[in-house]
Chains A and B, each alone.
Chain A
Amino acid sequence: MSQQAKGIPVSDGIAIGSGWIYCPVAIKVERYQNQDPEFEKDRLETALQQAKSQIAQLHQRTRETIGEEEAAIFEAHALFLDDPEFVGGIKTIIEAQRINAEAAVEEVVELYAQQMLSLEDAYFQARAQDIGDVGHRLLCCLLGVSPEGINLPDRAVIIVAEDLTPSDTVQFERSKILGLCTVRGGPTSHTAILARSIGVPAAVCLPMQLDDLENGVLLILNGTDGTLTIDPAPGELAQARQSQNQWRSRWAEQVADAHLPAITKDGRTVEVVANIGSVTDARQAVEYGAEGVGLLRTEFLYLDKQQMPSQAEQINTYREIFEVIGNRPLVVRTLDIGGDKAVEYLGTKSEPNPFLGWRAIRMIDEKPEILRDQFCALLEAGAGFDLRIMVPMVSSLDEVQQARQLFDEAHQALRTSSRPMADNVQFGIMVEVPAAALLVEHLAKYVDFFSIGTNDLAQYTLAVDRTNERVAHLASPFHPAVIRLIAGTIQEAHAKGKWVGLCGEMAGDPLAAPLLLGLGLDEFSMAAASIPVVKQTIRQLVYRDCQEIAATALKLPTTKTVMEYLEQVKDKNVVEGSRGK
């Protein structure tokens, strides 16, 4: 009998294949008296060598697929395995207590982890985790079990896990992942991000017991509706294969057409661009037909560091990404960090309400040099590129004036030093706080463009903490209040001759396309993998009809009625679109 679990769909598509259950934790160490300490020490030595070579491989792979920054974690892990006190401590316990190597490893790891934790500093808390990680790897080597996903089966599988952390996911070989499903996690979890970035189906929050599953069991994962079918009946399988084929040919068609412009049937063209945060993202964006970048996040340059990244480091990192994007327009968002990420040299500290706290543009009074340095680095790196810069989290006119002044100063400084720099750089702000949306008329004087961040705009308009699982579902960008703010922003900006983009998740949702198009949005910015489908959707729409759709949607009273109405519009378009072919 087949079984089904229904979770939250987070990455489109259908995967059919054998399940592979990933359980990283739960190693139980037995403690027993050893007969021969020398034998235990030899076992330890072999395990150390094995762990070192695994770490070397991970280091290499992470450097190639993710970046130098993340790879450095594994360099530290390798140093721990060479530590004379750590290794010596384990050997001493093997001899003195005459216990097995596993129990000795566990004892020493625990000892160091406790010492690190007692130092009460975020840096050391993270090191305690690292020690735990290294200890775990060492135990796996001693017990002869595969430590993590390093040894995925030879064939591609659907990975099933309780939850996946960043360090879990860097180890999976991408070509062997058919799909991802987890018992925990939400739409913005690491699983969801990974799945969308490599383009495999995924579902999270699946109510099921991993213990009931066996490795190799046949699974159907539908990432479009969030269902996981375990051990499907022949009929279900045949049906799934059929939908999979349909989905694949639709996807192939969309990707093949992704390089065509997004132009409605009656001739309105909008820009479809990508949200990125790394060189890898940039390459994928280009591959999926992005006409530029609507949001380059820059936080990665500042996290996990003990001091400000140098000008040279900033410039090199930016340039590496800019070169992939080439002559396409590129919008960079300046630093958006607050109390949710305590970074000592920036002065961010943990706060009871980090999203209402000292973050992003609000740092400008106390630490103007952070933004000034970033402007300088961007302007210099942007020489020869179509660069646009925007500042996040604006809520008042003063902030925009101050930022604009710093921007002009950076410009002036570079000109005096006659360094090469970007020409005609557009300056913009993000509209994420309702206050900014309501003041567009005044803010427009100081900016060249606006970019609406709907994730935060929904959070701030609806007073919903997006990180609080009990209320997160209330933060819908389809809420009538949010739609009205979006409509007002576009209208007022256009009245002042400024263009408007949108870089929240909403831009990548085909359901929202007729509404946003009808409201007059100029630029849609989204995860690269959403570009093909959004472009195809836009090409099937008629701008004049969308204006009517938007006008109707603006009159609806609830999130539910807005979404139902847009679903109706979508169904009608699908029917008409297929008739037109």
Chain B
Amino acid sequence: MPSAEIAVMHPAGLHARPAAEFVKLAASFPCNIKVRNLTADKKLVNAKSILSVLTLGVQQGHRVCIETSGEKEEEALDALRELIESNFGEAKP
């Protein structure tokens, strides 16, 4: 089961627009995708659920772990990692 650890550098963390973008992208893949906030040691939640992602309270600088399993698991992981690494399409702060 592929997984990756990434730091979220967007000033909004995983709230507001970044959270919405993240969830929409996750929902576009058929596989199961889970995400956990490593910094705050929160539970593993469904990455396709906006409410669950919000409850992780991911803030700028927090590290998250993403796990994918099932059809297109590699592509999904790459796409989500790229979204976070590209700072959700915004210039780096």
User: What is A's interface to B at a CB cutoff of 8 Å?
Assistant: 75-76, 79-80, 82-86, 112, 115-116, 119, 121, 123-124, 127, 131, 306-307, 345
CB of B90 to closest CB in A, whole Å: 9
Q: Which of B33-61 contact A (CB under 8 A)?
A: 45-46, 48-52, 54-55, 57
Q: At the interface with chain A, which of B11-19, B65-73, B75-83? A: B11-19
B55 and A112 within 8 A (CB): yes
Complex CA gap A33/B76 in Å reads 41
A83 and B11 within 8 A (CB): no
Complex CA gap A121/B58 in Å reads 12
A306 and B15 within 8 A (CB): yes
| Closest A residue to B54 using CB positions | A127
Complex CA gap A86/B23 in Å reads 14
A79 and B23 within 8 A (CB): yes
A124 and B57 within 8 A (CB): yes
Complex CA gap A80/B49 in Å reads 8
Complex CA gap A306/B90 in Å reads 13
B55 and A119 within 8 A (CB): yes
User: What is B's interface to A at a CB cutoff of 8 Å?
Assistant: 11-13, 15-16, 20, 23, 27, 45-46, 48-52, 54-55, 57, 93
Residue numbers in A under 8 Å from B51 (CB-CB): 80, 83, 85-86, 112, 131
Residue numbers in A under 8 Å from B16 (CB-CB): 123, 306
| Closest B residue to A304 using CB positions | B16
The one of B15, B45, B46, B55 that contacts A123, using a Cβ cutoff of 8 Å: B15
Complex CA gap A405/B23 in Å reads 46
A116 and B55 within 8 A (CB): yes
B12 and A80 within 8 A (CB): no
A-B contact pairs, 26 of them (CB 8 A): A79-B20, A79-B50, A80-B50, A80-B51, A82-B27, A82-B50, A83-B49, A83-B51, A83-B52, A84-B46, A84-B48, A84-B49, A85-B48, A85-B51, A86-B49, A86-B51, A112-B51, A112-B55, A116-B54, A116-B55, A119-B55, A119-B57, A124-B57, A306-B13, A306-B16, A307-B12
Complex CA gap A131/B43 in Å reads 21
CB of A444 to closest CB in B, whole Å: 41
CB of B61 to closest CB in A, whole Å: 13
Take A112-B55, A115-B55, A116-B55 as given contacts and tell me if A306 and B50 are in contact as well, using a CB distance cutoff of 8 Å.
no
B49 and A306 within 8 A (CB): no
Complex CA gap A131/B54 in Å reads 12
Residue numbers in B under 8 Å from A306 (CB-CB): 11-13, 15-16
Given A85-B46, A306-B13, 18 more pairs with CB closer than 8 A: A76-B20, A79-B50, A80-B50, A83-B49, A83-B51, A84-B27, A84-B46, A84-B49, A86-B51, A115-B55, A116-B54, A119-B57, A123-B15, A123-B16, A124-B54, A124-B57, A127-B54, A131-B51
Residue numbers in A under 8 Å from B11 (CB-CB): 306-307, 345
A83 and B50 within 8 A (CB): yes
CB of B93 to closest CB in A, whole Å: 8
CB of A131 to closest CB in B, whole Å: 7
Complex CA gap A375/B49 in Å reads 41
Residue numbers in B under 8 Å from A86 (CB-CB): 49, 51
Residue numbers in B under 8 Å from A127 (CB-CB): 54
Complex CA gap A306/B50 in Å reads 18
Complex CA gap A5/B27 in Å reads 55
Task: Pick the 5 closest A-B CB pairs, nearest first.
Answer: A306-B12, A85-B49, A307-B11, A115-B55, A79-B50
Complex CA gap A83/B55 in Å reads 13
Residue numbers in B under 8 Å from A75 (CB-CB): 20
Residue numbers in A under 8 Å from B13 (CB-CB): 306
Residue numbers in B under 8 Å from A79 (CB-CB): 20, 23, 50
Residue numbers in B under 8 Å from A84 (CB-CB): 27, 46, 48-49
Complex CA gap A580/B18 in Å reads 66
B57 and A121 within 8 A (CB): yes
Complex CA gap A206/B48 in Å reads 48
Residue numbers in B under 8 Å from A116 (CB-CB): 54-55
Q: Which of B11, B49, B51, B57 has the most CB of A within 10 A?
A: B51
Residue numbers in B under 8 Å from A345 (CB-CB): 11
CB of B31 to closest CB in A, whole Å: 14
Q: Which of B16, B46, B54, B55 has the most CB of A within 10 A?
A: B54
Residue numbers in A under 8 Å from B27 (CB-CB): 82, 84
| Closest B residue to A308 using CB positions | B11
Residue numbers in B under 8 Å from A82 (CB-CB): 27, 50
Residue numbers in B under 8 Å from A83 (CB-CB): 49-52
Residue numbers in A under 8 Å from B12 (CB-CB): 306-307
Residue numbers in B under 8 Å from A131 (CB-CB): 51
Q: Which of B23, B46, B55 has the most CB of A within 10 A?
A: B55
Complex CA gap A127/B12 in Å reads 14
CB of A383 to closest CB in B, whole Å: 25
Complex CA gap A80/B48 in Å reads 11
Residue numbers in B under 8 Å from A123 (CB-CB): 15-16
Complex CA gap A84/B34 in Å reads 13
| Closest A residue to B24 using CB positions | A79
| Closest B residue to A85 using CB positions | B49
CB of A418 to closest CB in B, whole Å: 23
Complex CA gap A24/B14 in Å reads 32
Residue numbers in B under 8 Å from A112 (CB-CB): 51, 55
| Closest B residue to A112 using CB positions | B51
Complex CA gap A112/B16 in Å reads 17
The one of B20, B52, B57 that contacts A85, using a Cβ cutoff of 8 Å: B52
Complex CA gap A485/B46 in Å reads 61
Complex CA gap A435/B43 in Å reads 54
Complex CA gap A83/B20 in Å reads 11
Residue numbers in A under 8 Å from B23 (CB-CB): 79
Residue numbers in B under 8 Å from A80 (CB-CB): 50-51
CB of A371 to closest CB in B, whole Å: 20
Complex CA gap A112/B11 in Å reads 24
CB of A206 to closest CB in B, whole Å: 39
CB of A116 to closest CB in B, whole Å: 7
CB of A454 to closest CB in B, whole Å: 37
CB of B84 to closest CB in A, whole Å: 16
